[in-house]
Structure 1
Amino acid sequence: MKLDELCTPKSSNLAQKDILENHGNYPVYGASGFIKNVNFFHQQNAYIAVIKDGAGIGRTMFLPPKSSIIGTMQYLIPKNNVDPKYLYYAVRAMNLSKYYSGATIPHIYFKDYKKELVPLYSGDKQKMISLSLEKLEDIIAKKQQLLSSYDQLIKSRFVEMFGDVSQKENGFTLNDVCEKMVRGPFGSSLKKEYFVPEGSTTYKVYEQKHAINREINIGDYYIDSQKFNELKRFEVKPGDVIMSCSGTIGKFFVIPRKAKPGIINQALLNFKLNESLINHEYFLQSMYLIISTIESKGSGIANITSVNNIKKTNLFLPILTEQNKFSEFVQQVDKLKFVIQKSLDETQTLFDSLMQKYFG
């Protein structure tokens, strides 16, 4: 059936400024989620909300009874024969962002996607499908939470062993512990016209997303051997640490042994460590603390992307044997994380396959 046969669209004229002084027990939601509680509600029953304007356009939320949304969102009210959670998963599978229009402030309209087709099962089967998907999402969330707790355990152990290194120094700077620090080439040196299809003699171009996602098996940009030799100064090798430097700043990734030969682009900074002085685990945790401290002060984060500035950054450096003790701890925790991540990936694959089965 068509979407508009399964739900009724409604608009909201509520603005955040209208509820600043209003307090109560009923939640109001916006594009980023919960905003605050107020003393009224616009929807008696559970419903679906779609972000129709601005950032996150097309993203779908399932929201509780006795709540409201602000005007940048669209109500989708399930009809009587439709399970609300089933409709939520159906709409979520539609990838509504493909319908957006508008360059300055993107927006989508219900009239653009109201003819999307949705399989209509019996009420019992709708509930079975939604409960199955909901249970898998709950498992995914718990595994993600467990991974986060392991990351927090590593941070806590680091502080326990070395203190707050962002507030300590013993005469070392980043320049002292790195054999090389290089920011990627200017954009004019690496235009899209230089990119070639992947082949046996091509070299990968590592981008911002490799550092942010901590993943090498993404990205489709390659250069030939001639361009690689021209930009060999920006070569990245296994064991190097890349850092994101544009937009999302301060995400790190250690290039693994299986990585393809390549170079970094202008949005990355590459650190080659002097491993006789510092190991990777200690370096990464120190940098996380240093950047977190800079961010908490509300200024200066852009300076960390300048090679000249970052070379001068103070770094508390304990003896290597102490660093190695921390590294051994991290490696043990990483083994636990690997098991959880594998299970998480399998659960996510199952969830995706069921979404495809029911709504694809």
Structure 2
Amino acid sequence: MKSSKPQFVEERGQKVKLNNLCSRGKSSLRQKDVSNDGPYAVYGASGLVGTMASFQNTVPYVAVVKDGAGVGRASACEANTSVLGTMQALIPREGIDRDYLLHLVRSLHLGDGFSGSTIPHIYFKDYGKLPVRLHSPAEQKRIVDIFASIERQIKVSKQQLDQLDSLVKSRFVEMFGDPCDANGNKAKVKVASICELRIGPFGSALHKNDYISGGHPLINPSHIIGSSIIPDADLTVSDDKYKSLEAYHLLPGDIVLGRRGEIGRCAVVQDKGFLCGTGSMVLRPRAGVRSEYLQRVVSFPSFRQALERNAVGVTMKNLNAKIVGAADMCLPSINQQDDFISFTKQVDKSRFGGMLHLLNNLSGIMQASFFSITDAD
């Protein structure tokens, strides 16, 4: 009798549907159900949210955020744990390595292509039908080991960047103190008085079928890593679409700010050809303020807290130009700003930032190599 289990094919792997490799686990908890009365972890979109005396999933599994700002993000969960209802637990079938499943799901970019003001949702009944690659157990282990090596290097690069960033933050406080201190004696200005503000395009301006590979990158909050912009080569638009959205072009020196999700995440735009995403907004400095100084102010803890207090929305907090423009901040002289910028240039973060970018690109290339499905196969 012929076996119903997938037969492994070496080299490129066998084409199957995702739901051949995993099944839906339990994920029905609400935050108010988390009683913190036991040793078993409960996870949500932001990570550990509490503990319980019982658990829902008995084996190691993958959890996917199924709605909200982090939709599509996948993470690994250990045995004897649970996830909130905002997550979907994916249980590996027999012969499927949990970490192999994790990287495979990440390669699908399930959260890409969502836009607009409504809360995005994804469902296993839909993405479970997507075609994927199935490799043998031995090849799965080899793939997992490769990604583990890349992730270790990414972790080291991030630690080095964090150390250098802490040095710059210390210098900023030494020179300027808290730029948003309401009780300070320094004069304040409104953000709207020193820069032009504009939110990204409405969802009706961009649709999933507008996205291509290798075009003009769309910059959403997920592409702001630390204080750098790491574009996704697969989330881009064509030249024609880019030209039609001229009002949302990002220019070198602009500050791109995430306006939902992790409020305060921002970076200085260094390159031409980027497009502001629907989840971002642009701060374009006027004369008298340097981009690097403004970026430090916007990402400063007290400024971020002020934005969070004033953000609108219940399920997911959002910023708009009026909220950001009304925020107060100190504006030192151009000479003082330039002195700070000179110091930051002496702190060579570019080497580690470049390594991080390279490693992230390598991770994407490896995913494409191991998991891609093409008509030519």
Q: TM-score, normalised by structure 2?
A: 0.65
Match of 1:139 among 139, 153, 157: 153
Match of 2:243 among 222, 225, 232: 222
Deviation at 1:353, TM superposition (A): 1.9
Closer, same or farther: CA 247–120 of 1 in aligned 2, 3 Å: closer
Q: Within 5 Å, which residues of 2 pair with 1:33-48? A: 33-48=47-62
1:341 aligns with 2:341: no
Deviation at 1:80, TM superposition (A): 3.3
> How far does the alpha carbon of each residue in 1:124-183 deviate from its partner, in whole angstroms, 9 at most, with x for none?
3321211211221232233233323322221111112332232334446469xx7x6444
Q: Within 5 Å, which residues of 2 pair with 1:325-340? A: 325-333=339-347, 336-340=348-352
Task: Name the SS of the counterpart of 1:41 in structure 2.
Answer: coil
In the other structure, the counterpart of 2:9 is: none
Say which one has the larger Rg.
Answer: 1
Letter in 2 for 1:125: E
Task: Name the SS of the counterpart of 1:23 in structure 2.
Answer: coil
Letter in 2 for 1:221: Y
Match of 1:126 among 140, 143, 146: 140
1:295 aligns with 2:307: yes
Task: Name the SS of the counterpart of 2:75 in structure 1.
Answer: strand
In the other structure, the counterpart of 2:362 is: 350
Structure 2 unaligned segments of length 5 or more: list them: 1-5, 7-15, 206-215, 313-318, 373-377
Letter in 2 for 1:349: N
Task: Name the SS of the counterpart of 1:142 in structure 2.
Answer: helix
1:359 aligns with 2:371: yes
Match of 1:19 among 34, 43, 57: 34
In the other structure, the counterpart of 2:175 is: 161
> How far does the alpha carbon of each residue in 1:23-56 deviate from its partner, in whole angstroms, 9 at most, with x for none?
2221112233222122222333312233445554
Closer, same or farther: CA 216–238 of 1 in aligned 2, 3 Å: farther
More helix by share: 1
> How far does the alpha carbon of each residue in 1:272-306 deviate from its partner, in whole angstroms, 9 at most, with x for none?
223xxx6554444345446235237x238969747
Letter in 2 for 1:337: K
Match of 2:25 among 6, 10, 16: 10
Does the 8 Å contact 2:24/2:124 carry over to 1?
no
Does the 8 Å contact 2:258/2:266 carry over to 1?
no
Task: Name the SS of the counterpart of 2:38 in structure 1.
Answer: coil
Letter in 1 for 2:88: Q
Does the 8 Å contact 1:25/1:38 carry over to 2?
yes
Letter in 2 for 1:109: F
Closer, same or farther: CA 153–50 of 1 in aligned 2, 3 Å: same
Q: TM-score, normalised by structure 1?
A: 0.68
Deviation at 1:63, TM superposition (A): 0.8
Name the % identity. Answer: 27
Does the 8 Å contact 2:38/2:53 carry over to 1?
yes
In the other structure, the counterpart of 2:213 is: none
Does the 8 Å contact 2:26/2:56 carry over to 1?
no
Closer, same or farther: CA 87–165 of 1 in aligned 2, 3 Å: closer
Task: Name the SS of the counterpart of 1:273 in structure 2.
Answer: coil
Q: In structure 2, how many angstroms separate the alpha carbons of the residues matched to 1:242 and 1:114?
A: 39
Closer, same or farther: CA 237–77 of 1 in aligned 2, 3 Å: closer
Q: Within 5 Å, which residues of 2 pair with 1:72-151? A: 72-97=86-111, 106-110=121-125, 113-114=128-129, 116-121=131-136, 123-151=137-165
Closer, same or farther: CA 359–151 of 1 in aligned 2, 3 Å: same
Q: Point out the more displaced range, 157-166 or 45-54.
A: 45-54
Does the 8 Å contact 2:24/2:89 carry over to 1?
yes
Task: Name the SS of the counterpart of 2:108 in structure 1.
Answer: coil
Does the 8 Å contact 2:25/2:57 carry over to 1?
no
Does the 8 Å contact 1:245/1:269 carry over to 2?
no
Structure 1 unaligned segments of length 5 or more: list them: 193-204
